[in-house]
Structure 1
Amino acid sequence: MTHGIVCAAQPEAAEAGALVLKAGGNAVDAAIACAVTQGVVDPLMTGIGGVGSALVHDAKSGKTENINFLGVAPASAREDMWVDAIEGETADAFGFILRERINALGHQAPMVPGNLKGYDILLHDYGTMNWSDVTRSAIAYADGGWIVRPHVYFYAMQDEEAQGRVHNTDIVGYTSEGRTLYLESDGQFKRPGSLIRNPELGRILKNIASEGIDVFYKGDIAKRIDEDMKANGGLMTQEDLANYQAVRAPALEGSYRELRLATNRPGGSGIQVLETLNILENFDLSCLEHNSAEYIRVLAEAISYAFNDKRNEVGDPAFVDVPLDTLS
């Protein structure tokens, strides 16, 4: 591809995608290279242990596919297992506060990760390159090191405790390895300009590059995760990893005035976007001064109604009957 734009939160990730385009890869190849690199240089935002969702539009067929590789609870989890541990809700209504923060910190907290499964589907069905091609930059940054950028530091140090959530430094510093990698001796995240090397992550990425994602979901890495979980009272097992499947479906579609919209399906939050726009379609926003009090009030009310509907009606489609036609 001779022309393209790569957008990412960190320049190293964007550069990784651009290098793939220059090497002849297509947009999907570049997106995967970008995402894997982002997981190295911005570890609190994404990574191979994370989850995600993708929309892919095929210009030839005109079809848009949604691939949800969101996290799922381990098979041993039960809907009522933490009922007695609930202490309240976060200040921004974006989660619940549990005793000892067991839902956010420690070996019982993780969902079964989906990123690598989703990336693999994208690469196989829409890309042109292989895993060794798209992990090259990520491996180089893991082995050689990456510079802590100001926004990485800012996010790591912002006061999540004020909302009732676990502080990000407690998350990355939960293990001795994490503390050594990411924290200063005073417990704060390493300062902007610091160099972080993560050769163990580099080794894992090299294994994925040479053996594919089965090494993570069914092979040696899965076995190591299983052993660590069992040793520390965790919920996730090797079987959970081996059984994980991404969900593929046509994109959820809607419209806003004359525009056709495509977004992800539940359990993603695309349906909230569609409902918000459906509400706003009933208002002539052009009559309101941009960012005036009335303009912001209308937007805020629309977002609030859609958020409440999502909160009350939307969940994992495997367990919840989501009223798509009503909300979108």
Structure 2
Amino acid sequence: MKRLLSALVISSFCYANPVFAQQTQKPVLHGKNWMAITGKPLAATAGAMIFQQGGNAVDAACAMLGATCTMWDTLSWGGETQLLLYNPKTKKVIAINAMGVAPTGATPEFFKSKGYNFPPEYGPLAATTPGTPGGLIYMLANYGTMSLEQVLAPSMDLAKGYPIEAQAANMIEKNKDKIKQWPYSKKVLLTHPGEQREAPEAGEIFVQQDLFETLSKLVAAEKAALKQGKTRKQALMAAYDRFYKGDIGQEFVRGSKEQGGLITMADLANWKPVEEEPLKVSYKGVDVYKLKQWTQGPVMLQALNILENFDLKTMGFNSPKYIHTLYQAMNLAFADRDFYYGDPNFGPQEPMKGLLSKEYSRQRAKLISFDKNNPNIGPGDPYPFEGKTNPYLHLLKSRGFEMDTTQRNFAPKHDLTNHSKDEVYQERLWLGTTSVEAADKEGWIVSITPSGGWLPATIAGNTGMGMSQRMQSFVLDSTINPFNVVAPGKRPRVTLSPSLALKDGKPYVSFAVQGGDTQDQNLLQFFLNMTEFGMNVQQAAEAPNFNTNQLWLSLGGTKTEDRLPKPGQILLNSNTKAEDRETLKKMGYTPTYSDRTSGPINAVYFDWKHQSLWGGSSNHGEDYGIGW
């Protein structure tokens, strides 16, 4: 990594320099026909198998999604899926929203009656309705070419038994006391009950018979429909219905209720994946696409709009001025995220037109002072940029924010609580998922950030499927965010944030990362590494970055103090120069240091000059890619 920094100074614009490429810890992946990248080597192999059988990128993405869920790559089958997809036939980017919703009975009053300030982070009451099975089937039915039987074959093989990796096995052991609270989780995950180590050992063949039977039922429903003369799509929807309206769903609901959950069969039957038009902004001629405001994705778009007002390249890669400018821009965007983002299918309507307007961003950019960190950044007022009056000024003022645009915004006193470095807090900030990136020579591209059902997970009955924990991303108090208050049927505002960028009307780069609230921080820096500093996709993925903690946490903890922003706290890479450390301290920052300053970034770059694909997968975690 140190060599990477020095090389950047010498050859930051040598985009395809093979000598420079060797400075990374992992090589660039090259492919002519396809690229498959995800969070586990075996799961990337699953995508490669589908490609080799003639599937397109959608088929391969479905196989990788299923495999990562089966391997507990910080998610399971009862979680959620959200993705961006480029259709080469229409030349359009579409979004598929397969985020689950709050179940019947999930109200602020219900959770407050149990002593929560936020919905819980573990257990059946943390669960939204499962979205991944429906999202996978919808994507496959509408944009893939293969059958469910074909794309689930790798997952079913894994469920019958695979050598579990140390990462997942040790996570099970670490959390075995929680896992013992839930009988179905204990049955599946603790393979050596009563022994000193109750979790599987690394390399042990880990068998999930219940999950295998559940996946077999989905395939059986598809096959039965085909025998009846149904079309491919109708047969896939028969499998969908067996999950959301049939015996699989019934067992899921039964298992949830037995353990104290709220999900009903009506909740499953009423839920469906939604195809959406993504949000986008243009940054110096590159169109960047993100999911809508039920995710944090627009925060990167807002930050890009703000940063477009500055000459970042002249500042120098990771110079104190560059770090400071990005930190301030991200804080401005995250302050808006924390107050204005929520499910657009529920009122009130979020002011996204104003938030993403260039004029609003120029106003926000003027709040950046180059001499010190501003710990008092709060939400702005985007409503005038939509020709409207802000209906929530009273809430902002009740929190102590000053909305006069001639002044700086002031954070409420409780937002300024100072905390020491806390490993639990940092784990919540990074709390991960996985990502799936797939592309093929026909032009199909899929970028997914699936999640939910991570370890320690509550398994729903005998389905073998871990339930989502995404309810914790709701708030119970409208003064924190009037758009994201929990309600039955509503999607929480999540951190999950796949990305796609087009240049000159053609795909440029597809990218995603795990890491909770840090996702769009890391993705922003990755994107700028390529566009401003000429790094190739692997260099951009490995390059040292930083994290801001000056935001409300979206995950972890049921008390307000667990979620509070930490103004000025910054996580820097351990190789940050001593003089830069001192400069940032004098500017009001409280730095901590780590060799790991990013979740694993996975990406595909489209080389139109040579008609080839470049894959990047960062050197953190077990993420892995295969190209051909």
| TM norm. shorter chain > 0.5 | yes
Q: Could you tell me how far apart the structure 1 residues matched to 2:307 and 2:188 are? A: 46
Q: Could you tell me how far apart the structure 2 residues matched to 1:24 and 1:73 are? A: 38
User: Does the 8 Å CA contact 2:39/2:73 hold for their aligned counterparts?
Assistant: no
Shift of 1:318: 2.1
Shift of 1:38: 0.7
Shift of 1:53: 0.7
Give SS of 2:126's match: coil
Mapping of 1:42-121 within 5 angstroms? 43=72, 45-86=74-115, 96=118, 103-121=120-138
Counterpart amino acid of residue 63 in structure 1: K
Match of 1:164 in 2: none
Match of 1:91 in 2: none
Instruction: Decide which of 355, 358, 382 is 1:327's aligned counterpart.
Output: 355
Instruction: Decide which of 143, 155, 172 is 1:138's aligned counterpart.
Output: 155
Distance 1:19 1:300, change over 3 A: same
Counterpart amino acid of residue 66 in structure 1: A
Counterpart amino acid of residue 209 in structure 1: V
Match of 1:218 in 2: 245
Counterpart amino acid of residue 324 in structure 1: M
Structure 2 residue 329 is matched with structure 1 residue 312:
no
Shift of 1:155: 5.8
Structure 2 residue 178 is matched with structure 1 residue 178:
no
User: Does the 8 Å CA contact 1:169/1:187 hold for their aligned counterparts?
Assistant: no
Q: Could you tell me how far apart the structure 1 residues matched to 2:144 and 2:156 are? A: 20
The two structures have a TM-score, normalised by structure 2, of 0.46
User: Does the 8 Å CA contact 2:96/2:276 hold for their aligned counterparts?
Assistant: yes
**Runs of 5+ unmatched residues, structure 2:** 1-30, 222-238, 357-628
Distance 1:260 1:218, change over 3 A: same
Once structures 1 and 2 are overlaid, which stretch shifts more, 73-82 or 8-17? Answer: 73-82
Shift of 1:267: 0.8
Instruction: Decide which of 48, 51, 54 is 1:21's aligned counterpart.
Output: 51
Q: Could you tell me how far apart the structure 1 residues matched to 2:198 and 2:320 are? A: 39
User: Does the 8 Å CA contact 1:146/1:197 hold for their aligned counterparts?
Assistant: yes
User: Does the 8 Å CA contact 2:182/2:259 hold for their aligned counterparts?
Assistant: no
Shift of 1:187: 6.5
Distance 1:87 1:230, change over 3 A: closer
Match of 1:208 in 2: 218
Q: Could you tell me how far apart the structure 1 residues matched to 2:139 and 2:290 are? A: 17
Distance 1:173 1:316, change over 3 A: farther
Distance 1:154 1:275, change over 3 A: farther
Shift of 1:188: 6.8
Shift of 1:201: 0.5
Distance 1:297 1:191, change over 3 A: farther
Higher helix share: 1
Shift of 1:294: 2.3
User: Does the 8 Å CA contact 2:82/2:98 hold for their aligned counterparts?
Assistant: yes
Instruction: Decide which of 198, 204, 209 is 1:199's aligned counterpart.
Output: 209
Instruction: Decide which of 253, 272, 276 is 1:245's aligned counterpart.
Output: 272
Shift of 1:207: 0.9
Match of 2:261 in 1: 234
Once structures 1 and 2 are overlaid, which stretch shifts more, 253-262 or 16-25? Answer: 253-262
Q: Could you tell me how far apart the structure 1 residues matched to 2:250 and 2:89 are? A: 42
Counterpart amino acid of residue 135 in structure 2: G
Give SS of 2:89's match: coil
User: Does the 8 Å CA contact 2:67/2:154 hold for their aligned counterparts?
Assistant: yes
User: Does the 8 Å CA contact 1:53/1:69 hold for their aligned counterparts?
Assistant: yes
User: Does the 8 Å CA contact 1:149/1:193 hold for their aligned counterparts?
Assistant: yes
Distance 1:147 1:173, change over 3 A: farther
Shift of 1:65: 1.0
Mapping of 1:289-304 within 5 angstroms? 289-304=316-331
Give SS of 2:282's match: strand
User: Does the 8 Å CA contact 1:181/1:196 hold for their aligned counterparts?
Assistant: no
The Cα offsets for residues 180-222 of structure 1, whole Å up to 9 and x where unpaired, read as 4334644675443233111110111111122112221111111
User: Does the 8 Å CA contact 2:94/2:277 hold for their aligned counterparts?
Assistant: yes
User: Does the 8 Å CA contact 2:137/2:240 hold for their aligned counterparts?
Assistant: yes
Q: Could you tell me how far apart the structure 1 residues matched to 2:159 and 2:319 are? A: 46
Distance 1:175 1:71, change over 3 A: same
**Runs of 5+ unmatched residues, structure 1:** 89-95, 159-167
Shift of 1:242: 1.1
User: Does the 8 Å CA contact 1:2/1:22 hold for their aligned counterparts?
Assistant: no
Match of 1:93 in 2: none
Counterpart amino acid of residue 182 in structure 2: T
State the identity as a percent.
Answer: 30
The two structures have a TM-score, normalised by structure 1, of 0.85
User: Does the 8 Å CA contact 1:53/1:268 hold for their aligned counterparts?
Assistant: no
Q: Indicate the RMSD between aligned Cα atoms, in angstroms.
A: 2.3
Match of 1:152 in 2: 168
Q: Could you tell me how far apart the structure 1 residues matched to 2:77 and 2:147 are? A: 16
